[in-house]
Chain A
Amino acid sequence: GAGVSQSPRYKVAKRGQDVALRCDPISGHVSLFWYQQALGQGPEFLTYFQNEAQLDKSGLPSDRFFAERPEGSVSTLKIQRTQQEDSAVYLCASSDDAGTDNRYFGPGTRLTVT
């Protein structure tokens, strides 16, 4: 079946612009996670949704970052007034909470802020 998809795959933004990154999780998956991955580093946790509820946003680096999942399926990560340090790959993952840590990751969106 279809895996986790993300769009766009690549995004170039000028500093100060707002961007919106979309994640389509695997159908029926309750949990959805966003991660940020800088070049050469492991993914870093940003936020977690269980259905439409955002249960943890402790990893969001600033109030310019905002995530939503209004109907408990598709999620959007929005970054306002982008800065160069926001350049990274943004990964989305979903899981069915079956009792293991088998998260299904999407291919990521590579954001470059110029």
Chain B
Amino acid sequence: LAKTTQPISMDSYEGQEVNITCSHNNIATNDYITWYQQFPSQGPRFIIQGYKTKVTNEVASLFIPADRKSSTLSLPRVSLSDTAVYYCLVGGPGGYNKLIFGAGTRLAVHP
């Protein structure tokens, strides 16, 4: 399973765009890139998943370059409620996939 590396922590201010980059140099051909968000005292919550290029939903955008060795989660105009830990994972699609979580990136949004 491909290992991921992401910053341990980031700070931002309300209204700013936040970009969290994750590196996954050993990603396999059939691996997808998935991001989860976790608030204190809650389980992780799926944010977005992609395979290549760009994916956008109502919460975030995911940018994946052609070599797929990294990906960037973009959160537009963050608010205080976006303060959470963000996890980048890679693995095969759907069905059975262990979902190997790393330590994640702790994002703190300040007023």
Contact = CB atoms under 8 A, between A and B. Distances in A.
B99 A103 contact: yes
Contacts of A59: 98
Contacts, number: 70
Contact of B95 (A4, A31, A105, A107): A31
A72 interface: no
Contacts of A50: 96
A56 B98 contact: yes
A19 B84 CA distance: 30
Interface of B: 32, 34, 41-46, 49, 85, 87, 89, 91, 93-104
A101 interface: yes
Nearest to A4: B43
Interface residues of A, number: 31
- Top-5 shortest CB links A-B: A105-B43, A42-B101, A99-B94, A102-B46, A45-B98
A101 B34 contact: yes
Given A43-B101, A93-B43, A56 B49 contact: no
A44 B110 CA distance: 30
Contacts of B85: 42
B101 A101 contact: no
A97 interface: yes
Given A93-B43, A107-B43, A48 B104 contact: no
Contacts of A35: 101
A104 B85 CA distance: 16
A102 B43 contact: no
B13 to A, nearest CB: 24
B76 to A, nearest CB: 21
Given A42-B87, A42-B101, A103 B46 contact: yes
A95 B98 CA distance: 12
Given A102-B46, A103-B46, A41 B103 contact: yes
